[in-house]
Structure 1
């Protein structure tokens, strides 16, 4: 970061000086991610009965918003080329290390590093042009603007996933109506209603439903079959599945 401050001043480059903010935001972003991961691992309490898994989502959201803020705030050419090349190399290493994480905070850190690497390419391209054509210093500003827009675009898929989790939407590949239909195919099941499927964080899917069973059926046996079916077909842990069984004579009529 100190090297970029000195290099940015000597090169008189807005892009390099602005990239100093990216390095500072990297430190803050990764600190937020680590803190969120620690808090999300804490055990549930009487007040927070689901635990603190959602802190992971809030941390990822804060990290992405930080990327937006820094990106929106965003000349000897050879200095630009040298510093941006080193910056790009370091961010490329981070992208490689973080690219396989399913955790939302790891994804947010990956997007941050990927965005920084794209911005480094912008500075590199601008530096090469200015190195060859020193009078074209406006390229520095143009490259910063163009690549900043591209970085913002890379954050949108993660924002979509964060929105879906906060809105308690069913994860991709799990359809509540299909699940209800499958359960109704069981011989002992008359109907299925109040089906809810949602995520509280990445990879943590919860299911709850009411199952109306025939009067001659054993409700405990049916409940176990339903839970095992959901576990096998949708790869959801049994402790995250809640099934309430009802006898047909006790069940309220549902559309």
Structure 2
């Protein structure tokens, strides 16, 4: 017995805002990469990597909103929502590799600052462009992020970019005014330190989804207690909770119901109450319950 209601996992109302923010982020990222090559600034490149994390997150959010709308078929019965997870896996691996390279290069430049020539003025201009662009993207997302978790995530990513651009500006000002080149390396290390925890967190989340672990914050014991408190329910077993992708939990359970509920037709009301409980209290909109008479448990044990 299923709850076939639309999952509503990914709303499409904010897709335009996400697309505009992605365009801004991707453009600034390209500008920063070019600026890093021309100026020799590692901090600018690190900030471009930071921007890449946000661009990737926005791409994943957009893909999720499109992919989640595709109907399931006989081969992919859950649809295509897990495509987001594989995208996140690739993203996490790339981020870890790039951030480690930035960290190693940053330490090298700290130890041997004289080997690198930096154009502090160009570095400053590009960093200011990045700061302004991030501020615009932040303003665009500020209202919608109060009502959408998806947009909220993008908003926080852009906020991190804003902080990264500010760090590059500080380093550029120091280089222009004092000629202290190590400021660039220090700024790059700070930005790399901001990237690594997010990349590791993303990788852990991907592993959690692919190993079909219960979603973070989901307490199976509490769900079981709610089910057992439903009038007519005697026992619950074979409880499984996993997620197809972020924000798409799935729940299945075998629920033992007293024989009288089947006899007087209350079983359908019990099912509706269980599905409503999962949706309202635990944000699980896709739930499957197998209602069983008391004797069926013994039959399964023998089987």
Deviation by residue 1:63-96 (Cα, 9 ceiling, x = unmatched): 3433334434432323322221211221333345
Match for residue 186 of structure 2 among 142, 163, 181:
142
- Residue aligning to 2:128: 85
Judged with a 3 Å threshold, the aligned counterparts in structure 2 of structure 1 residues 201 and 121 are, in CA distance, closer, same or farther, namely same
Judged with a 3 Å threshold, the aligned counterparts in structure 2 of structure 1 residues 16 and 69 are, in CA distance, closer, same or farther, namely same
Q: CA RMSD in A?
A: 3.4
Judge conservation of contact 1:211–1:246 (CA < 8 Å) in 2. Answer: yes
Judged with a 3 Å threshold, the aligned counterparts in structure 2 of structure 1 residues 69 and 46 are, in CA distance, closer, same or farther, namely same
Q: Please give the alpha-carbon distance, in whole angstroms, between the structure 2 residues aligned to 1:155 and 1:19.
A: 15
- Residue aligning to 1:53: 81
Is 1:191 matched up with 2:238? no
Q: Which runs of 5+ in 1 are unaligned?
A: none
Judge conservation of contact 2:237–2:254 (CA < 8 Å) in 1. Answer: yes
Partner SS, residue 237 of structure 2: strand
Task: Quote the offset at 1:7 in angstroms.
Answer: 4.8
Is 1:102 matched up with 2:149? yes
Match for residue 153 of structure 1 among 157, 180, 197:
197
TM-score, normalised with respect to structure 2: 0.67
Task: Quote the offset at 1:51 in angstroms.
Answer: 0.5
**Which range is displaced more, 215-224 or 20-29?**
20-29
- Residue aligning to 2:291: 245
TM-score, normalised with respect to structure 1: 0.77
Task: Quote the offset at 1:179 in angstroms.
Answer: 1.8
Greater RCO (Cα-Cα under 8 Å, separation 6 or more)? 2
Match for residue 126 of structure 1 among 156, 166, 171:
171
Is 1:42 matched up with 2:89? no
Deviation by residue 1:132-171 (Cα, 9 ceiling, x = unmatched): 211x213222321232122222444444433333333333
Task: Quote the offset at 1:191 in angstroms.
Answer: 0.8
Task: Quote the offset at 1:209 in angstroms.
Answer: 0.8
Q: Please give the alpha-carbon distance, in whole angstroms, between the structure 2 residues aligned to 1:211 and 1:182.
A: 12
Deviation by residue 1:23-59 (Cα, 9 ceiling, x = unmatched): 6787677556544543343211211111111112222
- Residue aligning to 1:117: 162
Task: Quote the offset at 1:200 in angstroms.
Answer: 1.4
- Residue aligning to 2:94: 66
Q: Please give the alpha-carbon distance, in whole angstroms, between the structure 2 residues aligned to 1:46 and 1:25.
A: 35
Judge conservation of contact 2:124–2:172 (CA < 8 Å) in 1. Answer: yes
Aligned residues between the structures: 249
Q: Please give the alpha-carbon distance, in whole angstroms, between the structure 1 residues aligned to 2:222 and 2:32.
A: 55
Judge conservation of contact 2:67–2:80 (CA < 8 Å) in 1. Answer: yes
